Amino acid sequence: DTPRTTTRIDDLPIRDELRGKSPYGAPQLDVPVRLNTNENPYPLPEALVDRIAERVREAARDLNRYPDRDAVELRTELARYLTRTAGHTVTAAHVWAANGSNEVLQQLLQTFGGPGRTAIGFEPSYSMHALIARGTGTGWISGPRDEDFTIDVEAARAVIAELRPDVVFITSPNNPTGTAVDAETVLALYDAAQAAKPSMVVVDEAYGEFSHHASLLPLIEGRPNMVLSRTMSKAFGAAGLRLGYLAADPAVVDAVQLVRLPYHLSSITQATALAALEHTDTLLGYVGRLKSERDRIVTELRALGYDVTDSDANFVQFGRFADSHTAWRRILDRGVLVRDNGVPGWLRVSAGTPAENDAFLDAVRELKKEHD
């Protein structure tokens, strides 16, 4: 009885801008060493796993009820975390949380982008910014970066002045390059964006905890059109939890509530995130280890003769390859999965455990020998 012809996406009456497009996704291959999605390699400590079980058990008793729609306890704890670690005092009123920072970014574009509006990012950068723009009907502008992957302030200012985007994404540290953006640059772009058209500037600090530099959080003070986006996926080692958050003027938090789905954060998610926040200090200990492993990867790759972009994140961009896809495949043949982000000549490796990083370094050492 099964129909003989299969329906394809394009047979459906989908929106024109989705036709022929592919979904976001890194290959999920079953290989011994997976260093391709900037995950934290350390599993959560047992004491935290127990605490999560406890808190989830409590939350389960109330699952007949909708969750706290405003996630007040969680936002209070996230605000406390930021205040303690990011150099600026914020309260629950400044913080909003959603299912991963991807959802935070989507809510921001639903609120401040949308049909007839545009967003800009300085590429190469996190490709989901453009995809979320597309999904929300927001026009996308690909802004420039320099050869060394820093943002050229003058060039960026010129594009903003000319194209007057409604939303400006600044990713610091940037994915996939690892490049941090300094506060001066962010302020220059903020001023340019306000002069062109009052627009929202979204600083995506998903990798903020891994940076050599202080958080850009203090810049939200007195700048209601500036938003800082963060996640528990990386530093908290909780990519599976799906918890992202933003800090901004309380008016922004009120504004995103116009588009959020009611009860978007399940009580299980809220309970789990709260348990993880109780273990912040232990989890930040892993961040310390990952930073020194990241620095070791940079040093060793340079010693092997590779070009390496300075990294403030938990991953490293390295090259240059005449054909990065072939290099990616050669490294994979040695059991190590890295990421080909489509930046010509470059690949990206996430910092793993010391043993995983050794396996990666052995693989690229052999690759280098083949070419010498």
Name the site residues for ligand PMP (rule: CB under 6 A). Answer: 38, 100-102, 126, 171, 175, 204, 206, 231, 233, 239, 244
Which CB sits closer to ligand PMP, 240 or 344?
Answer: 240
Instruction: Tell me which amino acid residue 206 is.
Output: A
Helices 100-112 and 127-135 pack at an angle, to 10 degrees, of 50
Chain centroid offset of residue 134 CA: 18
Which CB sits closer to ligand PMP, 199 or 233?
Answer: 233
Q: How far is the CB of 230 from ligand PMP (least distance, A)?
A: 8
Which CB sits closer to ligand PMP, 198 or 240?
Answer: 240
Q: How far is the CB of 102 from ligand PMP (least distance, A)?
A: 4
Asked if 262 and 16 count as a contact pair (C-beta separation under 8 A), the reply is no
Q: How far is the CB of 350 from ligand PMP (least distance, A)?
A: 10
Q: How far is the CB of 142 from ligand PMP (least distance, A)?
A: 16
**Residue 142 CB coordination number (10 Å):** 13
Q: Give the helix ranges, DSSP H, for the chain.
A: 46-60, 72-85, 100-112, 127-135, 153-163, 183-196, 250-256, 267-278, 280-303, 324-333, 354-371
Which CB sits closer to ligand PMP, 157 or 230?
Answer: 230
Q: How far is the CB of 47 from ligand PMP (least distance, A)?
A: 24
Rounded Cα distance between 1 and 364, Å, is 52
Which CB sits closer to ligand PMP, 24 or 66?
Answer: 24
Asked if 95 and 245 count as a contact pair (C-beta separation under 8 A), the reply is yes
Which CB sits closer to ligand PMP, 40 or 357?
Answer: 40
Q: How far is the CB of 170 from ligand PMP (least distance, A)?
A: 11
HEC readout, 228-242: EEEECCCCCCCCCCC
Q: How far is the CB of 313 from ligand PMP (least distance, A)?
A: 8
Which CB sits closer to ligand PMP, 225 or 231?
Answer: 231
Query: Which residue is closest to ligand PMP by CB?
Result: 100
Question: Which contacts (CB < 8 Å, 24+ apart) does range 147-153 have?
Answer: 148/309, 149/124, 149/174, 149/177, 149/179, 149/309, 149/317, 150/179, 150/181, 151/122, 151/181, 151/185, 151/189, 153/185, 153/188, 153/189
